[in-house]
Amino acid sequence: MRTLVLNAGYEPISIVSDRRALVLVLGGKASVLEADESVPLRSMTEVHASPQVILLRQYVRIPMARHQPVSRKGVLRRDSHRCAYCDAFANTIDHVQPRSRGGRDSWENLVACCLRCNNVKGDRTPEEMGWKLRHRPGVPMPQRWHLRGTETAVAAEWAQYLAA
With beta carbons less than 8 A apart as the criterion, state whether 13 and 60 touch.
yes
Cβ neighbours for 71, distance < 8 A, ≥ 6 positions apart: none
* pLDDT value for 126: 95
Closest CA to 123 of 142, 96, 162: 96
Closest CA to 5 of 139, 151, 149, 141: 149
CA–CA separation, 54 and 10 (whole Å): 10
| Average pLDDT along the chain | 86
Least confident of 18-32, 58-72, 73-87: 58-72
Q: Which domains does the chain have, with CATH numbers?
A: 2-63+146-162 (no CATH), 72-129 (1.10.30.50)
Closest CA to 73 of 86, 91, 88, 87: 91
- CA distances in angstroms from 102 to 32, 86, 118, 123, listed in the order given: 52, 25, 18, 11
CA–CA separation, 32 and 57 (whole Å): 10
* pLDDT value for 82: 94
With beta carbons less than 8 A apart as the criterion, state whether 137 and 96 touch.
yes
Q: What is the 3-state secondary structure (H, E, C) of 72-106?
A: HHHHHHHCCCECCCCCCECCEEEECCCHHHCCCCC
Q: pLDDT digit string (tens) for 10-61?
A: 888 888 899 999 999 999 999 999 998 888 998 889 999 999 999 999 998 8
Strand stretches in the chain, DSSP E: 2-6, 12-17, 30-42, 47-56, 92-95, 110-113
